[in-house]
Amino acid sequence: MIATFFRNLFRDLVRQPMRTILTLSGVMWGTFAVVLLLAFGNSVQKQSMKNMRGMGDRLVVVWPGRTTMAHGGFTKGRPIRLTTEQVYGLTDHVKGIAQIGPEFRQGRRLRHGREEFNITVRGVGTEYTDLRNTIAQNGRFINKIDLERRRRVCFIGDTLAKDLFKQDEPVGGRIMVEGVPFTVVGVMKKKIQPSNYGGNRDTQTLFMPWTTFTALYGSKYVNNFIYSTAPGVDSAALERSLRSYLSRKMGFSPKDTDALFIWNQAEMLEQVNVFFLAFNIFLGMIGSFTLLVGGVGVASIMMVVVEERTREIGVKLAVGAKRRQILFQFFSESLMIIIMGGILGFAASAFLIGVLPAEKIRDYVGVPQINPLVGIATVLILLVIGTIAGIAPARKAASTNPIEALRS
């Protein structure tokens, strides 16, 4: 029975090779589209999330601004200013902060040998390396002794290190910042960072102890401060607590969002996740419709096959074959064509993903991989489409009148 089934299937496939190729190609292309689109969609989502976390994990950035509402006897337009002591003291009054640190920022001219650049200089503390993922590849980050002694040392981004030092070793080298010599104590490990707040991205930035920054440039108030939420803490609730405390402390209305601008990474990551969920659904729908078109092609071809084999069906019915056997035969052939096209589509998509230059595209779209869930979903779609594509031709074959079939 099984041997007869596959023999008939092979006979029908090779009888019309061009028709067979076109039928299989439709299903193959649909499967290829579903698997490949979702593989790329999933990898782009993961890489985008990874790139965004290049700025930090559970990160919140706070900029003191100006009041736009009169409050507590103060007129609007008053600047909100915070010192480093006030920033570090927030952990005593606002619960749920894992780490916190001030940040000073100015554009300065750097020079090393004949190379000269205008870039962003940031005054930061030791906690900055954990908050912003400024991990040292060579050397070290700023330490407590650098802060206490106001040392003229700096930590630089990897791109800035290449631009200034070329092939020379940066660690231990000397950089002139507006004519003031600084010793490089470390170079940042390469990281992908799609954006930044205020100034150059970290790869092109110079970091110095904030105590040295304030001593050199006379800055008393922070440009902004950053903190990370402790694990399990609701970042939105923590943000409200922080705003409420500072509004009481600094004398502004908690409803005055311009007095204190807060950027919460968790909120952005949630929005990005929602976007990519919709994006992947859209890609899956495109691939599924392509696969559906292939299924319609299979149904059309099988209807033609039934017409061509009308006499054969009549003979089988005349010698005692049951209608459910005819139904099963043509339904199974349709389903087998769908499955064969699906296997070819899976193989083609796996081959393409395997030969892609992963290292060249990793930083942009990640590394596409065939997700097992995507494979299961595609198989289910294939089975549904195969059932739909096979039932109509099979029902037509089973309802054939044997007398009329033999006369044809």
| Domain that includes residue 113, residue range | 107-122+131-209
**How far separated are the first and last CA of the chain, in Å rounded?**
27
133-137, long-range: CB < 8 A, 24+ apart: 133/53, 133/54, 133/55, 133/56, 133/57, 133/191, 134/188, 134/202, 134/207, 135/188, 135/189, 135/191, 136/186, 136/187, 136/188, 136/189, 137/187, 137/188, 137/189, 137/190
Predicted local distance difference test score (pLDDT) of residue 175: 95
End residue of a domain, out of 183, 209, 235: 209
Q: What's the token pair of residue 61?
A: 């950035």
In a domain, 243, yes or no: no
Query: Rg of the chain's alpha carbons, rounded to an integer?
Result: 34
DSSP states of 36-53 as a string?
HHHHHHHHHHHHHHHHHG
DSSP states of 162-177 as a string?
HHHHTTS--TT-EEEE
Across the 408 residues of the chain, what is the mean pLDDT of every consecutive 10-residue run?
65 67 76 81 77 77 92 85 94 93 94 91 95 93 96 96 92 94 95 78 94 94 94 89 92 90 83 81 78 73 68 66 69 75 83 76 70 72 70 64 58
Nearest alpha-carbon partner for 136 in 197, 195, 202, 200: 202
End residue of a domain, out of 167, 188, 209: 209
Predicted local distance difference test score (pLDDT) of residue 169: 93
Q: Taking a C-beta distance cutoff of 8 angstroms, is the pair 288, 380 a contact?
A: no
Residue 298 identity (one-letter amino acid): V
Q: Taking a C-beta distance cutoff of 8 angstroms, is the pair 56, 132 a contact?
A: yes
Do 200 and 274 belong together in one domain? no
Tell me the CA distances in angstroms from 28 to 264, 324, 369, one per residue in order: 45, 29, 19
In a domain, 363, yes or no: yes
In a domain, 261, yes or no: no
In a domain, 312, yes or no: yes
Do 280 and 385 belong together in one domain? yes
In a domain, 288, yes or no: yes
Q: What are phi and psi of 143, to 5 degrees?
A: -115, 180
Predicted local distance difference test score (pLDDT) of residue 315: 65
Predicted local distance difference test score (pLDDT) of residue 397: 60
In a domain, 395, yes or no: yes
Do 192 and 319 belong together in one domain? no
Predicted TM-score of the model (pTM): 0.71
How many CB atoms are located within 10 Å of the residue 29 CB? 19
Distance CA 351, CA 374 (A): 16
In a domain, 231, yes or no: no
Predicted local distance difference test score (pLDDT) of residue 393: 65
- For the chain, the domain total comes to 2
Do 276 and 395 belong together in one domain? yes
In a domain, 144, yes or no: yes
Do 188 and 305 belong together in one domain? no
Predicted local distance difference test score (pLDDT) of residue 348: 85
